[in-house]
Amino acid sequence: MKSKLNSAYLLVCLMLVSTLIGLSSCEDYLTITPTDRTVEEDYWKDRNDLEGTLTACYVRLMGGDIMRKYIQWGEMRSDNFEKRIGLQATNVTNVMNANLQSTNGIFDWTPFYNEINYCNKILDRGPEIVSSDETFSNGDWQPIKAEATTLKALCHFYLTRTFGDVPYANQDFNNDRQRFQLPQSTQMEVLDSIIMDLESVKDIAMKSYGNSSEDCARVTRKTVYTLLADVYLWRASYKEGAPELIGDGTPAEDDYRRCVECCDYVIDQMKADYEESLKKSVLGGLSEEVTLQDLFVQNVETTGLGRYSSTGAYNALFGRGNSRESIFELQFDGTNNVNSLMLDYFVDKDGNPGTLVCSSALFSAVMTNPNVAVPTSLYNRTDYRRWSTAWFTKSEQTTYPMAKYNFSEITQSNSTSESYGMRDNNISSFRSNTQTDRTRGSMNNANWIVYRLSDVVLMKAEAMVQLSDDEETLKSAFALVREVFKRSNPYAYQNTTSANDSLDFKQNNTRDAMTRLILNERQREFVGEGKRWYDLVRYAQRNGSTVEMLKYLTRKYTDNQRAIEAKLSNMKSLFSPIYTNEIKNNSLLHQNEVWGTSENTSKTDDL
């Protein structure tokens, strides 16, 4: 692979995808129908074919069919978004009203299983090419094996978090004369398999490809450890809420501990990488050790007017992309490959609100105390993320389009009379921004971030709190959360009159309070990044009940809260129905009994 996914290279990638679709195309994954075996065997000759297929795996992750699922599955059911007023979209309406029907194409999992099939082809053919290609050694094969295994694990993780029990595919499909049938594995079995696979490759993945762009664009050792941390945290929460589950036999505490260890590895590696980069640029070396705060891109006031420069966090993470905080992000150049997800769901090519807008419950007001357990508003008055997440166009608006990803640069300013000042208590007036649009005309070049530093830090804090509720542990976890919060609230920590805008350990000195604080901080940090629904499900699974989770979810509903609560009272209702076509074509699959099995209705339609 090249160091960057440049234009010429992307054209080659896209051509390669078209070619490979002939090798493993399918209308329905579990009845996958690749081309004739002879063509398949003719394709796999040397390392170039292997590396080309790996490239295709990355390109497919950026395709619209998969990209849409990141939002459809990870955000649409959450409290982050509402459907744009006036939009006629029955499938979206049903999902957002918790009326989940198996005929809804949103639940088609084919793109993910096609991606898994590509990965399995690489894993199956790699050892053969090591034997047949003298230029390709086992040492060359090992990091490629780690990449394919990690991408495969990531896809299975999306699937089991969305559907619960899903097929775990360990083989590729080459013969179109055989109808493939694969039964579902339980969620616990899938999690066990993912962890086993990732543990087997975590130390053979590349530490670095030699440049920062490729280190963000491809799976590195940090990526493997971060995904492992995420899966350990999920499995621990699942075990904790359902102690009768056996899984691999390890208690939830062991999984939480492994999550912390994986997070520590990533943080330590990121410190080492950053320290090395500084040594190359600082004459005479470093005078102090790199800290966690150093790793975060800070929002620094530069003019005395509350204005933040283009070196701020938003512009580094979501504007330019591939920041020092990045662990794994999908690369878009806006020409040969366009981030269609942004145009489909957030802001269209003319700058109008897309399918989804931010939930008004999160942005219709500001608060002065971010320590509130279940706030009526998500962001406090000094939080920079409020204005870099939602798009504010006037002082009295009720619809909040997404700003994140859709602007290449956002600079705050309180220098006008209309602006909302971070230096006063005028919390009712409008906050002005200088926002730089990305090139539109149906183009968007925003990278899609799968994992970044904030995710690792907050996962570690969450696992620590579940491991122990002693004061020392809670304070250590609180310090991690504060690090994420502080960089987006610099004024709250610079001015004593804004003491209420900062985090306070005394208000978060219990396990329950810290758990809620972390859940709130993850929401503040990751709105629109495909994580919120999974965070809510993990929280519910740990509790073994949907009651507490629904306190967050139902705040976006104004007139049917009780109906939503009734529909989601069963833990199995948190997992989506299996798409009807899959059930028809594979007799080994079973439907989630909470949702309807007919083609037109849901079992909860009458609620």
**For the chain (length 607 residues), average pLDDT per consecutive 10?**
42 45 43 46 84 95 92 96 85 92 95 95 95 94 98 98 96 60 94 98 97 95 98 97 79 97 98 89 72 91 52 86 96 86 79 86 83 79 84 76 84 44 36 55 79 98 97 98 93 72 93 96 97 98 96 88 92 96 91 69 40
In the numeric block, which tokens belong to residue 173? 């499909």
What is the spatial distance between Cα 432 and Cα 428, in angstroms, rounded to a whole number? 13
In the block, residue with structure tokens 């590349």: 206
CA 597-598-604 angle, to 5 degrees, is 70
**Non-local CB neighbours of 495 within 8 Å, separated by 6+ positions:** 423
In DSSP terms, 30 is beta-bridged to none
In the block, residue with structure tokens 């194409």: 105
**Secondary structure class of 7 (helix, strand, coil):** helix
User: How many other CB atoms sit within 10 Å of the CB of residue 394?
Assistant: 7
CA distances from 532 to 73, 81, 131, 539 (A): 10, 10, 45, 11
Q: Which among 367, 438, 381, 443 is positioned nearest to 412, based on CA atoms?
A: 381
pLDDT of residue 12: 41
- Asked if 3 contacts 209 with a C-beta cutoff of 8 angstroms, the reply is yes
What are the φ and ψ backbone dihedral angles of 419, each rounded to 5 degrees? Answer: -75, 155
- Asked if 239 contacts 245 with a C-beta cutoff of 8 angstroms, the reply is yes
What is the spatial distance between Cα 586 and Cα 450, in angstroms, rounded to a whole number? 31
What is the spatial distance between Cα 602 and Cα 115, in angstroms, rounded to a whole number? 30
